[in-house]
Chains A and B, each alone.
Chain A
Amino acid sequence: MSNQTDKATLASMHADHGTTVGQPFCDNAKLSTRNVDVYYADNQAIHDVSLDIGRNEVIALIGPSGCGKSTYLRCLNRMNDTIDICKVTGQLLLDGQNIYAKNQDPVLLRARVGMVFQKPNPFPKSIYDNVAYGPRIHGLTSNKAELDDLVEESLIKAGLFKEVKDRLEAPGTGLSGGQQQRLCIARTIAVQPEVILMDEPASALDPIATAIIEELISELRKNYTIVIVTHSMQQAARVSQRTAYFHLGKLIEVGETNQIFTNPKHELTEKYITGRFG
């Protein structure tokens, strides 16, 4: 531990740089957040984060464990509403509309802003029903043929159709880890979201399954805006156009991914991505 920068030094480095370095804002924002604070009871987990997420971009949120990146991600589709002691303040807009408006139905919001989790979590149902579940509850199709088409299209987009087309009635939980994660992506896509939030979507997968998911992310970007939280620096470098670095609940630096990984501006970003702490 002797050669690591100690916590007090890191905290003081941050105190010197109160505001975010780089370009947190963009012209073509799909999601726009300003001065976001998040509290778990009396503990403040996110401090004054302002960040735009551009339309059809993949933005990677990186940072050490406990830095607030997942908490911030979960604010974007109000997943934090499910935690009683969690309070979110600040402005969060999706296409200019307040995500936290009183008349905003969180279920409808989550249809527009879908989420894929770290561990694949298919429902204990068939592959077909996993994908059809969302469209059914949201009433997106009017008959079986339309639903069949939507399920097929979603599985194709998630790059899974070829592998499962002959066993759509088999249980989703019987698939391999990588296939289950793609099934979850198909399930997310099926409700025709505009934004997909991914919380370490490949951390439980082997390198091949990871490569397939990353390829898929690049493909999905054409139609969706994607926010990905990842602990893998190489993954962030490979899949995203912009990268945001969080530290102790603050947004330290945002920039073009190419720049962040070759020439970060903030000392904390440098120290994190070069493995000097975290």
Chain B
Amino acid sequence: MDTLDFNQHTSQSYNDELEDIRNLLLNMGGMVEKQLQKSVQSLLSGDLKLAKKVIKKDLGINAMEVRIDEECTQIIAKRQPAASDLRLIIAVIKSITDLERIGDEAEKIAKNAIYLISKNYKSEYFLEIESLAILVAENLKDALNSLARLDVEKALEVAVNDDAVDKAFESLNKDLIGFMSKEPQDLKKIVRLSWSAKALEKIGDHTKNICEYVIYLVKGKDVRHLDLETIKEEYF
């Protein structure tokens, strides 16, 4: 049953409620995507105003998480969803937790940016941070698309792509550690770069989680903690 339609209930208001939840989730995804992009931009271009804006905007994402949670609770209480409806609600509740954490990681990047801007620091490693950020942002965009279209093939592809994010992070982190010993006077600043890279890597992990919820929602299989080969063989 790979084709799910949440708009065919006898109760039109139930259709509307589920539709609202999905729209809110996708809105939240869009907000988080922007936060990631702006936080990295503030770091790379030394834009203090933008970094502060990102930190302020995180409150909106937190509020969105609470609002969607509340709406999901109401649906569970009023409708007692089952089967694909139940999986939708569970997937939404779990996805918004990961989206909120992606928001937190973007906020961390913005805080690192503020520190580095205050020290007037620029680094040759900004380029590598940018490459890592592009990979992560691309994956997040694809994950959110797979969530919007319930596209499990795309979700699996993104989960596979997270390996590239991990590898890019490991390589960058190794370089930064080497850089720390070469430039000990900049240690505190380089650590901030390393934290920013770590935040991007974590965003990659949260993105992968969202893809796993898409697979759960569509296929009804919990693929968390399984290796990708097993997932491909057994569920695709």
Contact = CB atoms under 8 A, between A and B. Distances in A.
A233 B10 contact: no
Given A270-B1, A275-B10, A276-B10, A3 B83 contact: no
Contacts of A237: 82
Contact of A275 (B11, B220, B221): B11
Interface in B60-87: 79-87
Nearest to A259: B220
A117 interface: no
A274 B9 contact: yes
B12 interface: yes
- Size class of A's contact patch? 20 to 34
B9 A3 contact: yes
A38 interface: no
B185 interface: no
B214 to A, nearest CB: 15
Interface in B174-223: 220-221
B7 A267 contact: no
Nearest to B3: A267
Interface string A262-278: 11110101110111111
Contacts of A234: 80
A271 B1 CA distance: 11
Contacts of B79: 275
A28 interface: no
Nearest to B86: A262
B215 to A, nearest CB: 12
Contacts of A263: 83, 87, 220-221
B9 A262 contact: no
B171 interface: no
B7 A3 contact: yes
Contacts of B123: none
Contacts of A262: 82-83, 86-87, 220
Contact of A233 (B7, B11, B80, B221): B80
B10 A270 contact: no
B15 interface: yes
Given A5-B8, A276-B8, A270 B15 contact: no
A275 B85 CA distance: 10
Contacts of B81: 274
B14 interface: yes
Contacts of A264: 1, 83
Contacts of A278: 10
Nearest to B80: A234
A3 B85 contact: no
Contacts of A265: 1
B84 to A, nearest CB: 6
A4 interface: yes
A133 interface: no
Contact of B9 (A261, A267, A269, A276): A276
Contact of A274 (B12, B85, B220, B221): B85
B82 to A, nearest CB: 5
Contacts of A271: 8
List the 8 closest pairs (A to B, CB-CB), nearest first: A263-B220, A273-B82, A276-B8, A274-B85, A261-B82, A275-B9, A270-B83, A274-B83
6 contacts: A3-B9, A262-B86, A270-B83, A270-B84, A273-B83, A275-B79
Given A262-B220, A270-B84, A277-B10, 6 more contacts: A233-B82, A262-B83, A270-B1, A274-B9, A275-B9, A275-B14
